[in-house]
Amino acid sequence: MMRAVVLVALGITLFGSLENIEAGQFVIVNLDPPNAGLNDPEPVSPVGGNDGTTLGEQRMNVLEAAAARWANFLELTVEIRVGATFEELECDPTSGVLGTAGPNNVAANFTGAPVADTWYTIAQAITLAESDLILADNQHISTRYNVRLDDGDSDCLGGNTWYYGLDDEGPFGTVPLFPVVLHELAHGLGFLTLVDLESGARLETGDGDPLNDAYMLFLRDQEVEKDWPDMTDAERVDSAVNDPNVVWTGPTVDAMSNMVTDPAAFSGGLLRVHAPGEIEDGSSISHWTPDADPPLLMEPARQPGIFDELDLTPALFSDIGWPVNFPGIEIFRDRFEP
Ligand SMILES: [Zn+2]
């Protein structure tokens, strides 16, 4: 149920630098209207290390804590602004969208780009370029969370409500927001392909030239024995629904993927991505296979037992060229602890 949707992917190519900023950090930009969402004034009691006194404050505290956790793993050089809202998202009694996120822009051929003529999310691009290429007040990532959970209405996820604690998963009948934010921010930072999975087309520049994206560089179809950049659009359409044959070839994930013990999660020794027989918009390809066991943060649906662990997500970021710190065992908390 941690389904996610890519919101925006605008093709722009950026060159040069506008200004240099010394320290890097995430800034959560509250885009909710007065008295709603992140501004909800309803008084609440502190919960699980979250000492916000209103619903809005507690929500913001979780977003900021999750962003800070990512900041520990990424060598940020500039400010990354995340526009955030709580909105009514799709929900029914048994499933629903918990959150969504995506990059607001992408860039290619910027200073410090790891691979030429390849799209990177704007957050990764400005980090590598050590320069904010977007004017102030604009956000680099957009993310939304489903406000309907707090209605406690059985029509939405059987009445499950958000848990805003920063300590653990929370009691039965709740969904912890913290791991959902970790998951969504990862999409905004680069855990996604920009390929149109219905057409197989790669995102084009303003001049109409299709470019690879950093994520698809590491996608391979084991059945047809081709990497995604070497395929035609039609071949990518076929591969996008070719479970269980689509895998991640990046060396850092490969070196660490033995934390996943279920052989079903692999094809030809490489960890599979989610490629169900029908395209699931916002889920297909841009997640690990749900067959991974122990479960991973970046599966399409939230798995109980995951709270603050990032498991293979930093490894994938390293593969696509993010500067990543690996502080050891912290990646493998909870169910990965020895
Ligand atoms: Zn997702």
DSSP string for 155-190: TTGGG-EEE--SSSS-STTEEEHHHHHHHHHHHHHT
Q: Is the pTM higher than 0.75?
A: yes
- Are 158 and 231 within one domain? no
- Are 55 and 170 within one domain? yes
User: How far is the centre of ligand 1, averaged over its atoms, from the C-alpha of 182 (Å)?
Assistant: 10
10-residue mean pLDDT series, the chain (338 residues): 32 33 75 97 97 98 95 91 96 92 94 96 95 78 96 88 93 94 97 97 95 98 98 98 98 92 96 97 95 92 86 94 77 51
User: How far is the centre of ligand 1, averaged over its atoms, from the C-alpha of 95 (Å)?
Assistant: 14
- Are 325 and 290 within one domain? yes
In a domain, 174, yes or no: yes
The span from the CA of 275 to the CA of 295, in Å, is 17
Last residue of a domain, one of 189, 223, 245: 189
- Are 74 and 173 within one domain? yes
User: How far is the centre of ligand 1, averaged over its atoms, from the C-alpha of 150 (Å)?
Assistant: 21
- Are 179 and 302 within one domain? no
User: How far is the centre of ligand 1, averaged over its atoms, from the C-alpha of 84 (Å)?
Assistant: 16
In a domain, 202, yes or no: no
User: How far is the centre of ligand 1, averaged over its atoms, from the C-alpha of 298 (Å)?
Assistant: 6
Q: How much is the pLDDT for 24?
A: 63
User: How far is the centre of ligand 1, averaged over its atoms, from the C-alpha of 283 (Å)?
Assistant: 6
Range of the domain at 86: 25-189
Q: How much is the pLDDT for 22?
A: 38
User: How far is the centre of ligand 1, averaged over its atoms, from the C-alpha of 145 (Å)?
Assistant: 12
User: How far is the centre of ligand 1, averaged over its atoms, from the C-alpha of 322 (Å)?
Assistant: 19
The span from the CA of 34 to the CA of 31, in Å, is 9
In a domain, 327, yes or no: yes
User: How far is the centre of ligand 1, averaged over its atoms, from the C-alpha of 117 (Å)?
Assistant: 26
User: How far is the centre of ligand 1, averaged over its atoms, from the C-alpha of 204 (Å)?
Assistant: 24
In a domain, 280, yes or no: yes
Nearest to 214 by CA among 311, 287, 322, 325: 322
Cα→Cα distances 173→146, 153, 158, Å = 16, 12, 9
Write phi, then psi, for 331 (nearest 5 degrees): -65, -30
- Are 68 and 151 within one domain? yes
Q: How much is the pLDDT for 331?
A: 58
**Number of domains making up the chain:** 2
In a domain, 271, yes or no: yes
Last residue of a domain, one of 123, 154, 189: 189
In a domain, 18, yes or no: no
- Are 83 and 146 within one domain? yes
User: How far is the centre of ligand 1, averaged over its atoms, from the C-alpha of 88 (Å)?
Assistant: 18
- Are 320 and 240 within one domain? yes
User: How far is the centre of ligand 1, averaged over its atoms, from the C-alpha of 192 (Å)?
Assistant: 9
User: How far is the centre of ligand 1, averaged over its atoms, from the C-alpha of 187 (Å)?
Assistant: 7
- Are 49 and 161 within one domain? yes
3-state secondary structure of 10: coil
- Are 124 and 232 within one domain? no
3-state secondary structure of 27: strand
Q: How much is the pLDDT for 284?
A: 97
User: How far is the centre of ligand 1, averaged over its atoms, from the C-alpha of 237 (Å)?
Assistant: 20
User: How far is the centre of ligand 1, averaged over its atoms, from the C-alpha of 275 (Å)?
Assistant: 13
Phi-psi region of 305 (alpha: psi -120 to 50; beta: other; left: phi over 0): left
The span from the CA of 143 to the CA of 241, in Å, is 26
Q: Which residues hold their Cβ within 5 A of ligand 1, which is an ion?
A: 4
In a domain, 9, yes or no: no
In a domain, 13, yes or no: no
User: How far is the centre of ligand 1, averaged over its atoms, from the C-alpha of 52 (Å)?
Assistant: 27
User: How far is the centre of ligand 1, averaged over its atoms, from the C-alpha of 290 (Å)?
Assistant: 12
Q: How much is the pLDDT for 267?
A: 98
- Are 166 and 37 within one domain? yes
- Are 271 and 174 within one domain? no
User: How far is the centre of ligand 1, averaged over its atoms, from the C-alpha of 48 (Å)?
Assistant: 25
Q: How much is the pLDDT for 337?
A: 47
User: How far is the centre of ligand 1, averaged over its atoms, from the C-alpha of 74 (Å)?
Assistant: 19
